[in-house]
Structure 1
Amino acid sequence: MQSPSRRAFLVGRRPERSPWDAFLDHLRRIAQGTVHDFSTEAGCARLVPGHMQDVYHARSLCMEHGVTLALDGIPSAARLEDSPVLWIEPGAAMARCERLGPGDPRWFVQPGCLVGDLEQAGLPQFRDQPPHLTVAAWLADRRGCDWDCGDTAASGLVHALVLLADGTQANLGAFGVDNRKPLDNARIQGLIPRLFELASASAAQGLQADGLWNGRYRLDALHPSAGGTVNLAHLLLGHGGELGWVEWLVFDERIGQPVERSYDLRYGRRADAGRSVGETDLAVRALFDPDGLFPDQGQQFT
């Protein structure tokens, strides 16, 4: 019988797997979708999920292996070259777009649905938006979701189910005396009061200028214009893929309106705020993603 040492000498020692290889091997074993490795020095791959369960598994593995989980397809996405990253592209397997019921003005939309399909369905807020974008990428894009301060209801977004970094599923929607559903979630119970504190602080007031919102995260959604209703889902508008992974959204076709002013025209007045991450932005991100699973800057300001 050939000894183990003799066999090792003949075939050579098997090289030890790197942490990145171990991460990819595990992901490929459990994912129903496709995984592409781009073989960069730090480690970079793309997952096109076959099912939402793939995203759940990917989140867990990314947390375990110290890999950043990033939404693919965001316009002007940050390169994220300094650490291992898994880009997730919501594809055809999660691209449903349908009314909640016959004649219902509300639409159930999965993250892989294309903006062009939503425009053709008659949702006006997607007019003049790039038709090839997924709705997840549109929602993360600060240019596409740049409504005036307090006017986030014009997005038409009424509800969102979001997977947070710790695996919590957060139902975000209208919030007030008549609707306390977000408080059903213990994680959100602790998050909401702190968000309102941040939105009312002097630092947040400084993020408003000439009707524009200069922060990275839309805390102004907690102080809607007169007659408006607080909707926690609006915190995700233009979030850069930095706060969570969107599982599905609900839009109301009756209230959506396109962004009227060009982001580029606004940019000269908000450039300084955009290039630096203020204390308010850091505090919001820490509430949603204290362990840094998602990119700390998923979209570049150019």
Structure 2
Amino acid sequence: MKFGVMIFQGGFTYPQIKELWLKSEKFGFDSVWAYDHLNDCLEGWTLISSLAPLSENIRFGLMVTCNSYRHPPLLAKMAATLDIISNGRLEFGIGAGDAPSEYEGYGYPCPKASTRIEQLEEALRIIKMIWTEERPTYRGKYYSIKEARNKPKPVQKPHPPIWIGSLSGKRLISRVAALHADVYNVRAWNPTDYLNKMEVFKESCRSVGRRYENVVKTIHVDFAIARTRSKIKEKLREYAEFRRLPVDECKKVCIHGTPETCAEKVKEYADLGVQGMIWCFQPNKRMEDLQLLSEVIQQFK
């Protein structure tokens, strides 16, 4: 299993983010991520472009890019450029978007979810054409390109890995993942939630003629980790404040406990077929949490 860290950059200063990024590589994580929001945080693509040259081996991306915020052909160009800057380390995460207040605040049209998912599917067709073809032309319902030139091409061939992210795991978005994803990442609140979402995805794969086994399955999870029982309770209280949920509810939706206990819960997911896990590093987290997580992941290396 591979492991990543998703930094919720809205809760950290730039120096803190930079330290988390570099320590993620030092501690043996396979990937490091930021999110793609607009309100109270640093802009995602600008942020990861500044951080990528500071690291050497760790892979990185946005978990996940909101398709609505950038015109897809330009986004493809941005991603190709960053793949070159990083010598082929970009993981291209993208989704349909789900933050109406940001759409409204920044003046973006916010169509219904089914329309945003249609736009995402069309965008992915264009993005892959921009990455792999010489002068592609495409006229779609939402986007069009005409003999679009893009050189240089991405370092990774045929293109950077495409991660499609979904909170809901519902049929429409899972179908887009079945069509286009190299990696399908879902929010897993617990093992049962994961299995339910994968049943939907299996059906989507069957409907489009894609082998379920040919798509890498990953999850992103919340966590509360510490060495002692009292400290674990404190971490759970902090997490509950962040999520605005009762502590007892939080225990049901996050991996929590000592490094040893957390490793047991990771193994439970691994036994279900999960191939990668992204740990959500929220504003209530500290560097000590990252170090404790590194003890967990070393048991699976």
Whether these two folds match at TM > 0.5 is no
Larger radius of gyration: 1
Q: What's the TM-score once normalised by structure 2's chain length?
A: 0.27
Q: What's the TM-score once normalised by structure 1's chain length?
A: 0.27
